[in-house]
Amino acid sequence: MEEISHIGAIDTVRVLSNEERLRLLRLLMRGPATLTQLGVVVGHHPAWVRHHILSLEQAGLVELVETRPTKGYVEKFYCATARAYAVDFMVLPDEGERGLLVLLGSDDLALDLLASRLREDAAGPDVITMAMGSLEGLIALRHGIGHVAGCHLFDAESGDFNRSYARALFPGRALMLITLAHRQQGLIVPAGNPRGLRGLADAVSAGARLVNRNRGSGTRVWVDRLLAGGKIDPVRVAGYEDEVMTHDAAARAVADGAADVALGILPAATAQGLDFVPLVEERYDLVTPREHYEGGLLAPLLVLLNDEAFKREIDDLGGYVTRETGAVTALA
């Protein structure tokens, strides 16, 4: 059993978003128990317990540790895979007189532009941006680190972005979802696209080497979804385990010849003189608890998102569309 396990997979977070599964996991963090023993504690039939234990086991949070033949059947003892589960925290500067606004989440040029313009306001708060992936940003926000998390997590079941993940991570808490922009994700390939790639399946078939994004990032979600849609086993993908943290790093890997292809955004490709093959359009949102939205700290941000000149700046980045920039959705 690990002492501390750090959670970074989206599917694992979904499993833990169920309070009853979370309770079972906490019980198994104390020590091994059978389905019957757990059922007595939580007041449910062992079959109900088994359903949730299976989900925890598939997520790597629980494992079978012992079997004992007893009166014609076999007792199975399950235990948590770690003594504790945690997300890394950050040390932030003192807020000071102007206040401190911390923007977390997925690497994005429009978010960087937003932070840059906010810093130009001498009367506004100090601004810190921390690129850490969509999922990690939401998790950090849940733990009280930061005020806004940027994300672009696609939910295949609903066909929408970000809402289901935010609801899963913040059960019972009022959130506001603010659209920053829509942007294109696509293949970053060498100039001239010498392999003639039109999709990720083409890249795999051609034996192209991929540079992947970090686990927990929205772009990594797209990579895995596109591979699954093409019924491609990641084991077959050269470079699948090679990870970088940002779009710029992915583009540099292609430019330097360390990789043949990456999934990323147009400005990163353009900056390195590379070609770009658009594949999907995604919505990049800013998620914030209602109390931050209604407080004064986010006021300059909200004003800027509705400024037409700022929207034109986002459009000029390339691969971005601002048709819904500034739109707000309340998530109960």
Whole-angstrom distance, CA of residue 108 vs CA of residue 247 = 8
Within this chain, do residues 58 and 82 fall inside the same structural domain, yes or no?
yes
Question: What's the pLDDT score for residue 242?
Answer: 94
| Span 49-75, pLDDT tens digits | 999 999 999 989 999 999 998 877 889
Within this chain, do residues 203 and 242 fall inside the same structural domain, yes or no?
yes
Within this chain, do residues 175 and 306 fall inside the same structural domain, yes or no?
yes
Domain boundary among 86, 120, 138: 86
Block residue for tokens 């970088």: 244
Domain boundary among 65, 86, 107: 86
Within this chain, do residues 17 and 158 fall inside the same structural domain, yes or no?
no
CA angle 301-213-150, nearest 5°?
15
Domain boundary among 61, 86, 111: 86
Tell me the whole-structure pTM to 2 decimals: 0.73
Within this chain, do residues 70 and 132 fall inside the same structural domain, yes or no?
no
Residue stretches of the chain with pLDDT short of 70: 4, 6, 8-10, 87-92
CA angle 273-274-276, nearest 5°?
135
Within this chain, do residues 200 and 159 fall inside the same structural domain, yes or no?
yes
Angle (deg, nearest 10), helices 35-42 and 46-58: 110
Look at the chain and report how many structural domains it folds into.
2
Question: What's the pLDDT score for residue 12?
Answer: 80
Question: What's the pLDDT score for residue 49?
Answer: 95
Give the chain's length.
332
What residues are paired with 328 via a beta bridge?
178
Domain of 305?
91-332
Any idea what the CATH number is for the domain that residue 141 is in? 3.40.190.290
Any idea what the CATH number is for the domain that residue 63 is in? 1.10.10.10
Within this chain, do residues 188 and 264 fall inside the same structural domain, yes or no?
yes
Within this chain, do residues 127 and 155 fall inside the same structural domain, yes or no?
yes
